[in-house]
Amino acid sequence: MIIRRDKPRDLASSVALGFSAGRGAILASLNADGSHDPADLPRLLDALGTGAEVAIGSRYAPGGRIENWPWRRRILSRAGTLAARATLGLTVRDPLSGYYALTRKAAARAEGARGFKVLLEVLARGRPRAVEVPIVFRDRVRGASKMSWRAAWLALVGLGRLIKETTRG
């Protein structure tokens, strides 16, 4: 099934729409810009078969790597990853990955995700059993990055909101 929409253009609502339209017990998200290799999807699905609720295509797991990224983008990615892990108490190495498969049950526990990185919300809100599968992340072949200083600022604001919402109690 292909869903095309022009507005709103934010990632979280696009992923949520795709997940709600999906009919299977397993859902997956990957970038369509050529940065994620669809051939890795069977390995993510196999990882779910081991009892995990979320299988993450990880750039930072042993064996994973990033190709053709400028040093500024690498630093921004690492800084964001470390901030998310430290502030939310996450143990996975790549909680900001855009390539993952998960059970419908795990996705439902993060319903209402509003952030730029849906996986981060799934991990923080639902605390699912997660496994990382090493992937090679390549710079996009199509499209343009949405990353900017403004986007980085909004991501920090979103992280603050997520921290507040998941540490109440």
pLDDT recorded at residue 146: 59
Place 13 in a pLDDT band, splitting at 50, 70 and 90: confident
Q: Quick one: average pLDDT of 34-57?
A: 93
Rounded-to-integer distance, Cα 149 and Cα 82, Å: 18
Rounded-to-integer distance, Cα 15 and Cα 27, Å: 10
Sorted by where each starts, the structural domains of the chain and their CATH numbers stand as 11-166 (3.90.550.10)
pTM of the full structure: 0.85
Place 9 in a pLDDT band, splitting at 50, 70 and 90: low
Q: Which of 49-53, 88-92, 142-146, 155-159 is the least confident region?
A: 142-146
Residues in CB range of 7: below 8 A, 6 or more apart? none
Rounded-to-integer distance, Cα 2 and Cα 18, Å: 9
The b/e string for 92-129 (b: 16+ C-beta within 10 A; e otherwise) is bbbbbbbbbbbbeebbeebeebebbbbbbbbbbbbebe
Q: Quick one: average pLDDT of 40-66?
A: 95
pLDDT recorded at residue 6: 76
